[in-house]
Amino acid sequence: MKRLLLAILLLWTGPLAAQLYHPGEVLRYRVSYKAKMFPNTEVGTVEVTTTETTCNGKKYYLVKGVGRTLPTYRWFYNMEDIYQVWIDPVTLRSEYFQSDIREGDYTFESRFDYVWQDSVVRTRWRSRQRPFAEKEMPLTPESMDAISLFFNMRTAEADDFSKDKPEYLRMVLQDTVRNIRYRFLGREVKKIRNMGKFRTLKFDCQLGTTEGYSFTDGTVFYIWITDDENKIPVYIESPVRVGSINGYISGYKNLKYPVTSLVK
């Protein structure tokens, strides 16, 4: 399910766009697994929240994404992944990012410090209780963590997308900057379980395998976002070796704009 949480958070960005951070916003998702000989089974949840907080005497927007397995499956595979980013409310740039991943016996931590005045990002990470590894990498306005990427392009205008034209983004990871290639596939009315039908913008996306633009065998996923000012993801499909993992919106509240994409 970590893959679906990342897919939900990965999009979207446009260089120097004004991110849609709205304190009080809550987005909830259900995650399911589906295969040819396996029924569509819900296995987990994802929740993304935006609040206001103070750290070291400075105010921030705090965005938190949490993915968990449902109680029914925790005896078999217990997972809790937490991603957090602290955003300067004036510049709308990330200043700190951290993730804590706990999946069965596996644990992983990472921390990013953005030093914009020096155009570098300092990263630290470790698995289990090993010592932290560290790296400093060049930083550009287009380089962001997964959460910041997700919020950035939510402000883009639908008319700015060119159908089937590849576009590229950059995501900061522990020891590298990965490239993302995405294409706008067009508009589609998407039916979401227990939520109704939404007018959406559909994209396919692929995460590169290296710092270059190699996308051979890279992670592929599809995403549908609401065709309105909120531009919230309502459905995500990520094929795996056998079957697919899917995430769909199950609830939202305190959005900044009306959900005009919902078909009555």
Binning pLDDT at 50, 70 and 90, where does residue 214 land? very low
Q: What is the DSSP string of 194-220?
A: TTEEEEEEEEEEEE-SSSSS--TT-EE
Intra-chain end-to-end CA distance of the chain, in Å: 31
The one-letter code for the residue type at 90 is V
Compute how many other C-beta atoms are within 10 angstroms of the C-beta atom of residue 263.
Answer: 10
pLDDT in tens, 21-43: 789 999 999 988 776 666 778 88
pTM: 0.84
pLDDT in tens, 64-117: 989 898 888 777 778 899 989 898 888 878 889 999 988 888 899 999 999 989
Closest to 228 (Cα-Cα) out of 262, 254, 197: 262
Closest to 185 (Cα-Cα) out of 149, 220, 209: 220
pLDDT in tens, 230-251: 888 899 888 766 677 888 999 9
Compute how many other C-beta atoms are within 10 angstroms of the C-beta atom of residue 90.
Answer: 7
